[in-house]
Chain A
Amino acid sequence: YDSYLHTSSNRETFASPLEPSKEPSTDFSSVDLSFLPDELNQDNTEQPLTEGKQGVEGNHEIQGDPSRIQSLNEKDSGGIYTDNFSLSNSGLNPLSDGNSTLPSPENSSPGFFPLTSMTPLMPVTPVSEVFYRVYYSMNIVSTVNLACKLDLKKIALQAKNAEYNPKRFAAVIMRIREPRTTALIFSSGKMVCTGAKSEELSRLAARKFARVVQKLGFPARFLDFKIQNMVGSCDMRFPIRLESLALTHQQFSSYEPELFPGLIYRMVKPRIVLLIFVSGKVVLTGAKERSEIYEAFENIYPILKGFKKA
């Protein structure tokens, strides 16, 4: 267990959650998990992401207690993890101080905490957190009114990263690197901003574009900023039987694999369109607010679990 302990201490020192956490998973493979029933292993790959902070703290507990690890291996049922975890939870306090600074692991890999398990003693993690941690990316489209007539030619000539092809399209396409976004600026003063990863970033990007226009000499303002569309994607991490889903939820689903490999699910409440793929990846689009995406995910998650391909 020396290598195992070593990587645990490594984890304490790193600052960013994005450090590749592949190492711990390979080290955990050295720990003998063969006596675990298969489903428990799978659940472990899903659930540990939900434990988030708790998991982090729990792991540090395990690190501080090598004797407990040995007992993990010796006993013969999967249930042992329950006891261990609850024990470590109750003994949380001493090592928890250093952990509160750790930012929530957005991109933690599934192998990060395979020893945690889902137990009735622990609070059930709300489904939206599972979504958040499983795989999370967003694309936001927003519009804003700069409230002044613009000379597109002047903008295109003087601004960097701007393209303007009046024969093709009547707007200037401008891009900025931070946040990485693209804007379509029309002569009427209206602007569309796409590519941002969150609402705040979209607003920030739109402001940056507006400032660029301002610097070029136009009296640009920032009126009616509105998020038009939000796209989220996530990964269920299990294959889904699309034929059965299309059959049982006929009134909501359209599945034409010759045209498009995914099933198009039109959820009524909230009004979101989901693209569900065989691999388990789900794309949610049509939302005006983040809560709608979460709500849609919470609605679809139990349904998709029912159609998991064994």
Chain B
Amino acid sequence: MNNTTPSPMSAIATSSSGRATGKSMSFALELQSMMFSLGDARRPLHETAVLVEDIVHTQLINLLQQAAEVSQLRGARVISAEDLLFLMRKDKKKLKRLLKYMFFRDYKSKIVKGIEEDDLLEDKFSSSSNVNKRQKIAQDFLHSIDQTGELLAMFEDDEIDDIKQERMERAERQTRMMDAAQYAEFCESRQLSFSKKASKFRDWLDCSSMEIKPNVIAMEILAYLAYETVAQLVDLALLVRQDMAPKAGDPFSHAISATFIQYHTSTESTAACGIEAQSDAIQPSHIREAIRRYGHKIGPVSPFTSAYRGNGMTFLAC
């Protein structure tokens, strides 16, 4: 998990050590809530939350550093939305999701402004070019880097986001069985996000040692990417857990990888071939297995792909 490749940024050493020497703040509680809203059990395990926090933190720090490098390349003074969009250019689906999120943010502030009278006046105070600010930034930037027309085609593209669809269906299944009180709790958990705890998030990321810092919109996007990472982890972990459940008549049950069984037997006392885990919650082993699979170099061309992999870090969010 740790990035061992030397990087021009000296910050990396300080950030890892900062992480190791007991951070005063921890998102473990919030993460437990978030994982519940994303499909985990009613009370996710604390160990799992700590592990997820670790992973998300590492990934974000690395992402931030790569963004800072990009920012330096174009000679800017702050890390802005453009740099993060640039990093995400490879994965169209995730980029599209990010864009949808940004547009939704614009749209929501537009509507809420129309309703709240005070906000209406505030809006008049600030320049009206605030409307659709994020959308404009995104569109302008993608226009500038797009050489094959693929990225701009994304704006017109109305394809359904499969992963988002799956998450919605999972949420729907989860909530169907709940009664009113549980559902209220679920809704509150869903509303939790890193952007809600912006100042804590900022401190947690600890950008003070970096030369180039992110601006406001970049922080919004980072909060969103953190949430996406957690969501991806939960998606993958649930998939892993589903795989682990022995299915009668599964033709590949004999072909399960060794590492898989090792995780399975070492973390759970029950027999590998037998009973399912006691609790419904996602175990740290699921998460680790999910990360392993996601970063696994499968296929003939894998050693030669992606600069990210060269760094030893595959980002879940982009």
Please report A residues at the B interface, Cβ cutoff 8 Å: 139, 141, 168-169, 171, 173, 182, 184, 194-195, 229, 231, 239, 241-244, 246-247, 250, 254, 256-261, 264, 273, 275, 278, 283, 285-286, 309-310
B121 at the interface (CB under 8 A from A): yes
> Which residues of B lie under 8 Å from residue A278 when comparing CB positions?
183-184, 187
A243 and B171 within 8 A (CB): yes
B135 → A minimal CB distance (Å):
14
Partner among A194, A242, A244, A246 whose Cβ is within 8 Å of the Cβ of B187: A242
Q: Which 9 A-B pairs have the closest CB atoms?
A: A258-B193, A257-B190, A243-B171, A243-B172, A257-B191, A169-B125, A278-B187, A247-B168, A243-B175
A259 and B121 within 8 A (CB): no
A139 and B190 within 8 A (CB): no
Q: Which of B112-120, B149-157, B274-282, B285-293 binds A?
A: B112-120
B169 and A247 within 8 A (CB): yes
- How many residue pairs link A and B with beta carbons under 8 A? The number is 84
Q: Which residue of B lies closest to A240 (CB)?
A: B183
Partner among B120, B175, B191, B196 whose Cβ is within 8 Å of the Cβ of A194: B120
User: In the complex, given contacts A244-B175, A283-B115, what are 20 additional A-B residue pairs having Cβ atoms less than 8 angstroms apart?
Assistant: A139-B117, A141-B114, A141-B120, A184-B121, A229-B114, A243-B174, A246-B168, A250-B168, A256-B101, A256-B104, A258-B191, A258-B196, A259-B101, A259-B193, A264-B107, A275-B115, A278-B187, A286-B114, A310-B179, A310-B180
8 Å CB contacts to A: which residues of B227-255? 227
B51 at the interface (CB under 8 A from A): no
State whether A239 and B101 are in contact (beta carbons under 8 Å apart), knowing that A169-B125, A194-B120 are contacts in the complex. no
Partner among A168, A182, A241, A243 whose Cβ is within 8 Å of the Cβ of B125: A168
B121 and A182 within 8 A (CB): yes
Complex Cα gap A239–B175 (Å) = 12
A34 → B minimal CB distance (Å):
22
Partner among A169, A244, A264, A285 whose Cβ is within 8 Å of the Cβ of B172: A244
A285 and B115 within 8 A (CB): yes
B105 at the interface (CB under 8 A from A): yes
Complex Cα gap A27–B191 (Å) = 40
A173 and B195 within 8 A (CB): no
B111 at the interface (CB under 8 A from A): yes
State whether A239 and B196 are in contact (beta carbons under 8 Å apart), knowing that A194-B120, A264-B111 are contacts in the complex. no
> Which residues of B lie under 8 Å from residue A259 when comparing CB positions?
101, 104-105, 108, 193, 195
Q: Which residue of B lies closest to A181 (CB)?
A: B117
B176 at the interface (CB under 8 A from A): yes
A139 and B104 within 8 A (CB): no
A42 → B minimal CB distance (Å):
13
A223 → B minimal CB distance (Å):
21
B318 → A minimal CB distance (Å):
18
Partner among B120, B172, B176, B191 whose Cβ is within 8 Å of the Cβ of A261: B191
Partner among A139, A254, A258, A286 whose Cβ is within 8 Å of the Cβ of B195: A258
B74 at the interface (CB under 8 A from A): no
Complex Cα gap A141–B125 (Å) = 17
Complex Cα gap A231–B190 (Å) = 27
A139 and B191 within 8 A (CB): no
- Write 8 A-B pairs (CB below 8 A) sorted by A numbering: A194-B117, A231-B115, A243-B172, A246-B168, A250-B168, A260-B108, A273-B111, A278-B183
Q: Which residue of B lies closest to A184 (CB)?
A: B124
Complex Cα gap A239–B185 (Å) = 13
Q: Which residue of A lies closest to B196 (CB)?
A: A258
B227 and A275 within 8 A (CB): no
Q: Which residue of A lies closest to B158 (CB)?
A: A251
B78 at the interface (CB under 8 A from A): no
User: Beta-carbon contacts of B157-201 to A below 8 Å, as 1s and 0s?
Assistant: 000100000001101101110011001100100111101100000
> Which residues of A lie under 8 Å from residue B108 when comparing CB positions?
259-260, 264
* Residue of A139, A168, A243 with most partner-chain B CB within 10 A: A243
A243 and B168 within 8 A (CB): yes
> Which residues of A lie under 8 Å from residue B174 when comparing CB positions?
243
> Which residues of B lie under 8 Å from residue A258 when comparing CB positions?
190-193, 195-196, 227
B178 → A minimal CB distance (Å):
8
A182 and B175 within 8 A (CB): no
Q: Which residue of B lies closest to A253 (CB)?
A: B168
Complex Cα gap A229–B114 (Å) = 8
B38 → A minimal CB distance (Å):
11
* Residue of B101, B120, B160 with most partner-chain A CB within 10 A: B120
B191 and A182 within 8 A (CB): no
B234 → A minimal CB distance (Å):
14
Partner among B107, B114, B172, B195 whose Cβ is within 8 Å of the Cβ of A231: B114
> Which residues of A lie under 8 Å from residue B191 when comparing CB positions?
257-258, 261
Complex Cα gap A195–B121 (Å) = 11
B164 → A minimal CB distance (Å):
10
A285 and B176 within 8 A (CB): no
> Which residues of A lie under 8 Å from residue B107 when comparing CB positions?
254, 264
> Which residues of A lie under 8 Å from residue B176 when comparing CB positions?
241, 244
B101 and A171 within 8 A (CB): no
B196 and A285 within 8 A (CB): no
B216 → A minimal CB distance (Å):
15
B192 → A minimal CB distance (Å):
7
Q: Which residue of A lies closest to B164 (CB)?
A: A250
> Which residues of A lie under 8 Å from residue B117 when comparing CB positions?
139, 182, 194-195
B111 and A275 within 8 A (CB): yes
Partner among B37, B124, B184 whose Cβ is within 8 Å of the Cβ of A239: B184
Complex Cα gap A243–B190 (Å) = 11
Q: Which residue of A lies closest to B224 (CB)?
A: A258
> Which residues of B lie under 8 Å from residue A257 when comparing CB positions?
37, 187, 190-191
Complex Cα gap A231–B111 (Å) = 11
